[in-house]
Structure 1
Amino acid sequence: MLAEALKHLISNIVDFPADVSVRDIDTSRGEMLRVRVNPEDIGRVIGRGGRTATALRTVVDAIAGEHVRVDIMDNRRSRR
């Protein structure tokens, strides 16, 4: 549910919504959402001074009721 909600939020602020993917990963340190966007949209998702990214993380934490790590990267980076 968190991944879908985050994907919906991000898809509405980028120019290339079809390139948005959110993957839910369980790590030893807790849940993590890995976000990939088109390289041209990375600035929109991070925002000036990281404000948009911080707001997205705050919304995800509020929905989850606990801290969830959100990593934002562009599609150029290798997929692991």
Structure 2
Amino acid sequence: MKELIETIVKPLVDFPDDVLVQIKEDDSKITYHLSVNKADIGKVIGKQGRVAKAIRTVVYAAGSSQQKKIFLEIGE
């Protein structure tokens, strides 16, 4: 899943080397925290959050086979 997120996000940003995905796993959920360069945060979120929503949709669909709930947080 980490590779999927990186594959989606890296072509969108100006600083692909700054893309970092951290994983935090609990008993009932998995949280992926996406960090990008401060200058790229707007590109990842998109107008009215449309790009972020699309990324989340793909990640949630890919993780639907897992028994745990999946969350994607986007930050700097």
**TM-score (ref. length: structure 1):** 0.85
Where does structure 2 lack aligned partners over 5 or more consecutive residues?
none
Identical-residue share of aligned pairs (%)? 36
Instruction: Determine the structure 1 residue equivalent to 2:50.
Output: 51
User: How many Å separate the matches in 2 of 1:41 and 1:62?
Assistant: 25
Q: Does 1:35 align with 2:53?
A: no
Q: How many aligned positions are there?
A: 73
How far off is 1:28 after superposition? 4.7
**Matches for 1:1-80 after TM superposition, within 5 Å:** 2-65=1-64, 67-74=69-76
How far off is 1:29 after superposition? 4.7
Where does structure 1 lack aligned partners over 5 or more consecutive residues?
75-80
1:9-47 deviation digits (Å, cap 9, x = unpaired): 100100000000001111355011000000000000000
Alignment RMSD (CA, Å): 1.3
User: How many Å separate the matches in 2 of 1:19 and 1:61?
Assistant: 23
**TM-score (ref. length: structure 2):** 0.89
Q: Where has structure 1 moved over 3 Å in runs of 4 or more? A: none
